[in-house]
Structure 1
Amino acid sequence: MRNKKAILLISILVLAAISIYLWRNQAEPQASSIKKKVDQTKGVYVSTDFNTNTFSTKQEAALLKNLRLCDSTSQWSEDENRPSCTPNFFRVFPLRKGLDINQGCMVLLKAGVNGFPVRRFVIYEKEGEQLIQANGFIGYPIEFRPKANNYDDVVIRFFERYEGEKYFYNCLFTWKQNRYQFVRCEQINDANIKPEKQADVSAEILQILNEKQLVF
């Protein structure tokens, strides 16, 4: 009788162990799949390669002419000091998803355009009958993060030199009160800032951005 009870107990333990093993094998891939899905929808990478850039409609060129950012008399140019209204010098994004770019837009300017040595990212919003500059950055967007209000958050990459060293700052901005406002800096030279230090480091970097007029 004791042997039968012992065999029964061992059988129950073995079945329980097998059940736990099978459950874990099924559950873990699901969790991994969910995590991957979250990472994939985190944000949209922004290409800044002007060699592969194209315009989707004729609206972009007309918009750039209206903003007086380019030489409207030139069909195509390679001269950065007299840039044509073409995708080899400019990239245009709508300010908000579904919004006509003539109502609000974001313009990325290639380094060297109109004599300015680095890339610039300028935000425009329509007031009355014309587009007004909301604000701008001496930097370039590297990621758009979708928001419920359809005004994407933007991660902007800035560059500065300090005591002979190069520093790159990846900082997050959000649309608030008709302009893109600083939220925090997330990386320095592509290394993540530790969460416990992020507030203090972000405050220091924001001061640098303002002092060097990298935001305007």
Structure 2
Amino acid sequence: MSQKVVVIYSGGMDSFTVLNKALQQGHEVSALSFNYGQRHVRELDVAAKVCKDLGIPHKVVDITAINGLLAGSSLTDDIDIPEGHYEESSMKSTVVPNRNMILLSLAIGYAVSEGASAVYYGAHSGDHAIYPDCRPEFVRQMNVVSQLANYEPIEVVAPYLDVDKNAILADGLRMALNYADTWTCYNGRDKACGKCGACVERLEAFAANGVKDPLPYEA
């Protein structure tokens, strides 16, 4: 059944797929992006272009003022971005403390104000080991809290919670999505670096699906 939903949309390939899945399910979608001081702020430009092309409402919220409270992540601080495959020992530095709880809280409030019934976001099984706020138990508990926090119950939906990036890409390819309209690299340069954990995981997903990644890479 069609409903009004808010999609937390970073501009990356996971949230891009979630956004289009919600649209193809017939929902009335509003996209919500956040500038939290991430190095790869380029993803927000990509998100804006996609929303303009799709003709859907898109808000970008500047929450950089909270960075003084959330130190220690290589995505926001002057710390080298780790390279190589996603492994807890190296990729833990990319964790932004409490990020998804903060973003979901803001998105839930926006959903209430917009008369929406759900908030969608792109947590998936490939992130479970690294990011605590992408784990099933976190999503389930946030959904419980979201039903209680306002007079209007808002459902928290993570359609790819139990599958990895390979499966997300496979679903997007079935929807004929153009992944040139995404940005994944943690470095915000002209081309994707091809070396950071996000790039490596992305390239592995394309290889697993037998498709060439349309993004240009430095190496």
| TM-score, reference length from structure 2 | 0.26
Higher helix share: 2
Structure with higher RCO (Cα < 8 A, 6+ apart)? 2
* Max Rg structure: 1
Higher strand share: 1
